[in-house]
A and B are shown apart, each in its own frame.
Chain A
Amino acid sequence: NAGVMQNPRHLVRRRGQEARLRCSPMKGHSHVYWYRQLPEEGLKFMVYLQKENIIDESGMPKERFSAEFPKEGPSILRIQQVVRGDSAAYFCASSPGGRHNPWGEKLFFGSGTQLSVL
């Protein structure tokens, strides 16, 4: 069973371009979380998705950022018109979802995408 896969591992964009970050959750997992980590800082929650639904996007900037988790295919974090301040590591995590794990489920993280904006 492969772990959470994120690609690309490194992404370089010029200011004003679009960045698309992909996250394939573990097999059977229906919940996906996205986090952003600036250098020397902690993980900042961005968005929490279930298949075809956004559960909580309170950590997402209101403009330029969007996320989706379609019925088929990976979850996508999309950043339009990138700026230098978007440079960070973006981590995705997945969990099974549902009420069969009442103790609060483990999160399984990917290795992250390092976005650099020139």
Chain B
Amino acid sequence: DAKTTQPNSMESNEEEPVHLPCNHSTISGTDYIHWYRQLPSQGPEYVIHGLTSNVNNRMASLAIAEDRKSSTLILHRATLRDAAVYYCILRDGLTSYDKVIFGPGTSLSVIP
């Protein structure tokens, strides 16, 4: 059911930038790209979202391809606390009634 594809796992060294890719080739014009992450033994938490333009917040940056068929979540300096599963999902901006489907996500390991 997931409309996005992500690598199963990635590794990063601590204090280095991390680029987490997501493909969403069937994205529609009204779909927003959302990212969540799930730390071990916790519920998921919102990270960032965007539509067309790149977005920055205190947690991360989101780079969206010009054709919107892919996006990249950027963690500027990975810390051990960033080790988590990262989920890229699409939310329809036209409706308040879309069920939210999560794919398997990318499991990020951060190496000290």
Contacts and interface: CB of A to CB of B under 8 A. Distances in A.
Decide if A and B are genuine partners.
yes
Interface of A: 4, 31, 33, 35, 41-45, 48, 55-56, 58-59, 91, 93, 97-99, 101-112
Interface residues of B, number: 29
Contacts, number: 73
A109 B45 contact: yes
Contacts of B102: 35, 42-45
A110 B38 CA distance: 11
Question: Which interface residue of A98, A103, A112 has the most chain B CB atoms within 10 A?
Answer: A103
B30 to A, nearest CB: 9
A112 B87 CA distance: 17
B42 A104 contact: no
Interface of B: 1, 31-32, 34, 36, 38, 42-46, 49, 51, 85, 87, 91-94, 96-105
A4 B45 CA distance: 11
**Contact residues of A: prevailing secondary structure:** loop
Given A93-B44, A106-B46, A112-B42, 14 more contacts: A35-B102, A42-B104, A42-B105, A43-B38, A48-B97, A101-B96, A103-B51, A104-B98, A106-B49, A107-B36, A107-B44, A109-B43, A110-B43, A112-B43
